[in-house]
A = this chain, B = another copy of it.
Amino acid sequence: MKDYFSKHRSSDEWLIKEHRWDKKLQPSRESQFALGNGFIGSRGIMEEVPFDARPGTYIAGLYDKTGAQVTELVNLPNPINLKIISGGERLGAGTMDILHHERALDMKHGLLTRHTIYRNSHKKRFDYQSLRFVSMRNKHIIAMQVCITPLDEAATFTVENLLDLSVTNVGFLTEGNKKHFRVEGVSQFDTGEYLAVKTLEKGMLIAYGKSMIIEKGHSSRFARHVTTQIKLRKNQTACITTIFSIFTSDNKDTKKIKPVVKGFLRKSANMGFERILKEHIASWDRLWQASDVRIKGAPHDERSLRFNMYHLLICGREGNGESSIGAKTLSGEGYRGHIFWDAEIFILPFFLYNRPNVAKNMLLYRYHRLNKAMQIAESRGYKGAMFPWESAATGEETTPAWAKNFDGSLIQIRTHEMEHHVTADVAYAVYQYYVATKDIRFMLKCGFEMIFETARFWASRAGYNPKIKKYEIKHVIGPDEFHEDVDNNAYTNSMVYFNLMAACGMYQKMKRLYPKEYRRLSKKIGLKKGEVGEWKRIIPRIALNLKRNGLIEQFDGYFRKRKVKLRNLKKHPIPPIPRSIKLKDVGKTQLVKQADVVMLLYLLPDKFDIKTKKKNFYYYLKRTVHKSSLSAAVHAAIAAEIGNIKMAYRYFDVAANMDLTLLYGNTDDGMHAASLGVTWQAAIHGFAGMKIFNETLSINPRLPEAWKEISFCLKWQGYNLKIAINHTKVNVQFYSKRKDFLKIKVYNILRKIEADKAYNFPRKRGG
């Protein structure tokens, strides 16, 4: 049988495959095989939509609350819904026997291909091949091609292609399934069909266009109805090409949307599938050219890492802050598509060094919701801006206040009341963005204001305790959510320290270098010198919990919690909670859900020396159960830094394959976005040792034994760097149109390098 799509398929190291259809794995595969372009996210369902498939079509930033406890990412009508029927039997998993089946996600070009051989009840076989993609070139396009061939005798097929309106959002226990849209309009164009739906709460319009062309031999025709007949001789092939377009009223005036869709569809039909595909592939080639990480000697690691990067690339969006990236990307409905600190701390760095405009978009998302953050602060009696723990369209707090357990009991959710570090995390990301991009325009328009308003929040949030002469931050939850309502969480307090430091530094800088803009801003937000003076007073007095023995106490009283030692960590890098401890009592013990102090070591690398890092890492490692996807890769990065490469490699392996091995059992409701991002960080910040110390890019690699070489690109302050690292040297080069130089640290030695020149820095012996 001819393989129709082999010409588009990349080599094996770029492919994630399934070799058989497994009903149980279906929902996870749909997440893994998701396609997207930052605007549209589309779950990797099979085109025939088998009985228990979970179609998911999401648009970044498009939320609706109707029928739900809190607003959620809307599951929109599903375009991928191609029913092919012959003799009353549907070509589909569950309806025909499957003699052969393979699907491959081509990560290089964002293509999902499939080859299935079906056998019907009368033992006649049909060859089925498909290719589909969500265009990376034009964010409004989804395209699909399906080739069918009867292998044993002539056959007549009914092809049905309805935009599937049956879709609902997954039901939570107390909500049931929710439909977030209603049909607003339908009509027929000469080249296809039109469907518009409106969200129920906010009346957002989403308009679909669809055109289908059927090719058979040398003839081709538009399918002018949702059902069409195809007669094929034995071994004759028909090729069904469908192009979908999706627009929202965000993009276009409501009244104009229909002609826009119509025009767009005609244009796409004229362009043809092949050209749309070609442009899509070219866009992906450009993306990978700027982002790919190659690992010689470890093709498995390279592929896993790419899988993580692929899923980041399909949800990254350059824009004006319309949306950010949710905790499950756009590949599922987990966490209702909400934005957490995951966005700024775990996901943003990948984009910062590869697609800085996506990072900017994520920060603009926060900036455009700064007013809401100020309202949140005000409503709780604080000043400045307090970002919500969970954020969606408006920037209001969208954390559900409670959830119901299957046993009927009510779980109070307190993260939004107490997990305040997110506000410092956003400020941290703004600062990182500034350092990595030197994008002063962003800072003047948004960044300084964000840093000042967050600092202002913390100044009002911290309370001075005259007894110990410290500023304390009480009643918080740190990253480790096992311990609620704690005082002086080291992570939170240190991030506040950083936030205030950054604010003071930025204040000086802005006043000095941009006096006009400073005057405008200080007038706008009423910032006075005295307030900055207060920040300066607070900074040295923040309780940081660094004890004399070098140990950092996670929060006040942590050391007095019940000791529980986890064993066999070498065998089980992700240890189970000992059975003797009930889940409700876990807060009484020293067990830690995820990197907390270790997170701090990771985010503020120049605040601690190696000895302190080692001490704290091993101390908390023995207490951490990694019951969060945010934990493993951070441990990998720190383990690499302190020289325990074997352990680092083990945690990297866990993190990089998290959604391939279905480690947390909930890949079905979407990819773990934070882990995707921090896996890249573990490779680049951890093994390749690329870090920013005092605003200087530093490379201090410690590669796993198996890795012969790691090579990657970086964007740094407007330059494109190319870096290749092996066990003996670091090769660096950067590109610039002007004659230019850069100062970077390699193996802890500051080097000045010129543009367009390759440098080889050898590792010192024993270094």
- Footprint of B on A, CB under 8 Å? 48, 50-51, 66-70, 83, 85, 87-90, 92, 94-97, 120-122, 158, 160, 162, 165-168, 171, 173-177, 179, 182-186, 195, 200-201, 226-227, 400, 402, 404, 408, 410
Contact = CB atoms under 8 A, between A and B. Distances in A.
Contact of A67 (B67, B85, B186): B85
A418 to B, nearest CB: 21
Nearest to A198: B226
Contacts of A66: 85, 158, 160, 227
B174 A90 contact: yes
A67 B174 CA distance: 35
A69 B97 CA distance: 17
A316 B122 CA distance: 39
B227 A88 contact: no
Contact of A121 (B50, B120, B177, B404): B404
A121 B402 CA distance: 9
A90 B162 contact: no
Contact of A175 (B90, B165, B168): B90
Contacts of A87: 69
A183 B165 contact: yes
B88 A68 contact: yes
9 contacts: A48-B176, A66-B160, A67-B158, A88-B175, A162-B179, A162-B182, A183-B183, A183-B195, A184-B186
Contacts of A175: 85, 88-90, 95
Contacts of A176: 48, 50-51, 83, 90, 92, 94-95
Q: Could you say how many copies of this chain the assembly holds?
A: 2
Contacts of A68: 88
A174 B120 contact: yes
A92 B51 CA distance: 24
B94 A70 contact: no
A67 B160 contact: yes
A168 to B, nearest CB: 7
Given A67-B85, A171-B51, A175-B88, A200 B120 contact: no
DSSP majority for the A interface? Answer: loop
* Residue from A68, A97, A168 whose CB has the most chain B CB atoms within 10 Å: A68
A132 B162 CA distance: 32
A179 B70 CA distance: 32
Contacts of A201: 227
Contacts of A162: 179, 182
Contacts of A177: 51
A182 B226 contact: yes
Contacts of A85: 66-67, 175
A48 B166 CA distance: 16
Contacts of A402: 121-122
* Residue from A87, A179, A184 whose CB has the most chain B CB atoms within 10 Å: A179
Nearest to A187: B185
A94 B172 CA distance: 11
Contacts of A167: 166
List 10 tightest A-B contacts by C-beta distance, closest first: A69-B88, A166-B166, A89-B174, A165-B165, A95-B176, A121-B404, A90-B176, A183-B186, A200-B227, A67-B85
Nearest to A97: B408
Contact of A122 (B50, B70, B400, B410): B410
Contact of A95 (B89, B122, B165, B173): B173
A87 B67 CA distance: 9
Contact of A88 (B160, B185, B400, B410): B400
A201 B85 CA distance: 13
A653 to B, nearest CB: 39
A688 to B, nearest CB: 45
Nearest to A84: B67
Contacts of A200: 160, 226-227
Contacts of A400: 88
Nearest to A87: B69
A121 B95 CA distance: 40
Contact of A186 (B51, B168, B186): B186
A227 B182 CA distance: 10
Contacts of A182: 162, 186, 226
Contacts of A173: 95
Contacts of A51: 171, 176-177
* Residue from A83, A165, A174, A400 whose CB has the most chain B CB atoms within 10 Å: A174
A77 to B, nearest CB: 10
Contacts of A410: 121-122
Given A88-B400, A200-B226, 4 more contacts: A50-B176, A70-B88, A165-B165, A166-B168
